[in-house]
């Protein structure tokens, strides 16, 4: 279903020849309206790839007709020529759609510092435009993969469709038959693994909806949703030059959604995609949730969670199935969050092995075998909480990332 689950969208994914080996490497997503409202969030890295600079400019208008995405090259650190390549790509898509390049966003992922093969890319855009269809969502999701082992897609129903579906317990029932005309859909696709994949792990995500919203509503929704989901995925602390998350609304379902419910649906799609990214993170053998409780503020909780998520020593310990709470405390201690060292408590998989900053329950009680590991840090400083997700650090991570461009 992916980005074409909602009405009003067509997509395609083709092999343009950007990647060697003949795999799909170019995706096109088109919004046929009636609305073109859109919003985007982008990497906070100050070294931004050309497509990010371009798309930020495009999104300042709050409207998107189409998105062109390519794998096989990030078009980052490519100078003014790289920006011209992005511009030319948007012009090509606009020409094929008889529309304006100023409403075409571009996303690229792959190796930094190399120009894209523009002949292949532009003819790929043409091929993709010829294959656009209501069924193209899966092919598009496939085309944006780099080292992702699987495509990442998600969708949720909202409005009366969701209510009707809840009543009939048919979780995957289609809405194509028009049985729920007053409902709406949110669909999405993503690639990457936080910052863990080798190409600096560009995370690209396109979310679509057939609900009718203004670009301001989409922008506020997207910022809040990504802050709670993708922003709390921290696999290796590295920040890509290309990260992009776009939200497009066609309005084709003719529904003005309840904003709180809509945000909830977008959060669910983002959380689902984030989880898929985490599980597919390269070289990872554990999915680690760092659950910070008892924080004086949500900011403190996120800060502590992120610090723990970035401790290489801890991530190695978890890989070795060692419930090393000392490394958790050492990571907490590097933050300026409100806490007293002798009031810190830490549980791993539910066993409170550190109490009051010192040894707690017997560490041999902790079952470290499951793939999912939950580390709970109680700061004993307030009522706020946050969860940050990461992975373990493995020899496979080192191998994958040592060999990428050589």
Q: Which residues are annotated as a binding site for substrate?
A: 146, 191, 202, 282, 401, 406
Name the burial class of residue 150, with classes exposed (0-12), middle (13-18) and buried (19+) by CB atoms within 10 angstroms of its CB. Answer: exposed
Binding residues are 146, 191, 202, 282, 401, 406
* Cβ atoms of 34 and 249 closer than 8 Å: no
First-to-final CA distance of the chain: 37
What is the distance, to the nearest Å, from the Cα of residue 23 to the centroid of all Cα atoms in its chain?
22
Which is catalytic among the residues 202, 209, 229, 376?
A: 202
- Minimal distance in Å, beta carbon 54 to its own copies? 15
Torsion over CA: 78, 84, 90, 93 (sign): negative
174 Cβ contact list (under 8 Å, min separation 6): none
Is there a catalytic annotation at residue 202? yes
User: 41 forms bridges with which residues in the sheet?
Assistant: 245
Q: How far is the CB of 71 from its own copies (least distance, A)?
A: 16
- Contact residues toward its own copies (CB under 8 A) are 44-48, 74, 76-79, 81-82, 111-114, 195, 198, 200-201, 236-241, 310-313, 316-317, 319-322, 324-327, 329-335, 339, 341-342, 344, 354, 356-359, 393-395, 397-406
What strands lie across the sheet with 66-70, from one edge to the other?
9-14, 26-31, 66-70, 104-108
Residues 6+ apart with CB under 8 A from 62: 37, 38, 39, 214, 215, 216, 219
Residues serving a catalytic function are 202
């Amino acid at each position: 279903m992916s980005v074409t689950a909602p009405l009003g969208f067509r997509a395609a994914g083709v092999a343009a020849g950007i990647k060697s080996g003949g795999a799909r490497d170019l995706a096109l997503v088109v919004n046929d309206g009636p609305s073109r409202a859109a919003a985007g969030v982008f990497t906070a890295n100050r070294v931004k790839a050309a497509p990010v600079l371009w798309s930020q400019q495009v999104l300042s208008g709050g409207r998107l007709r189409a998105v062109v995405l390519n794998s096989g090259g990030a078009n980052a650190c490519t100078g003014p020529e790289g920006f011209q390549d992005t511009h030319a790509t948007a012009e090509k898509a606009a020409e094929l759609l008889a529309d304006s390049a100023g409403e075409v966003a571009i996303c690229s992922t792959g190796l930094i510092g190399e120009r894209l093969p523009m002949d292949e890319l532009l003819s790929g855009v043409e091929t993709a435009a010829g294959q656009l269809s209501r069924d193209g969502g899966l092919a598009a999701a496939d085309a944006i993969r780099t080292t992702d082992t699987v495509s990442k897609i998600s969708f949720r129903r909202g409005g009366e469709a969701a209510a009707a579906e809840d009543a009939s317990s048919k979780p995957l029932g289609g809405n194509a038959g028009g049985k729920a005309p007053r409902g709406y859909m949110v669909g999405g696709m993503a690639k990457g693994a936080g910052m863990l994949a080798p190409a600096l792990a560009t995370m690209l995500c396109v979310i679509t909806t057939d609900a009718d919203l203004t670009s301001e509503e989409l922008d506020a929704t997207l910022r809040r949703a990504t802050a709670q989901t993708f922003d709390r995925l921290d696999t290796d602390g590295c920040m890509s030059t290309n990260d992009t998350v776009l939200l497009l609304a066609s309005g084709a379902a003719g529904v003005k959604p309840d904003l709180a419910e809509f945000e909830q649906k977008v959060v669910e799609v983002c959380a689902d995609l984030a989880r898929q990214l985490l599980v597919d993170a390269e070289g990872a053998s554990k999915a680690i949730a760092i659950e910070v409780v008892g924080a004086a503020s949500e900011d403190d909780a996120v800060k502590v969670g992120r610090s723990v998520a970035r401790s290489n020593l801890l991530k190695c310990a978890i890989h070795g199935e060692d419930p090393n709470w000392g490394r958790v405390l050492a990571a907490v201690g590097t933050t300026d969050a409100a806490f007293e060292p002798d009031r810190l408590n830490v549980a791993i998989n539910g066993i409170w092995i550190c109490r009051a900053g010192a040894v707690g329950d017997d560490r041999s009680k902790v079952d470290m075998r499951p793939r999912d590991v939950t580390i709970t840090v109680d700061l004993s400083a307030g009522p706020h909480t946050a969860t940050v997700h990461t992975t373990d650090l493995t020899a496979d991570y080192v191998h994958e990332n040592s060999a990428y461009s050589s």
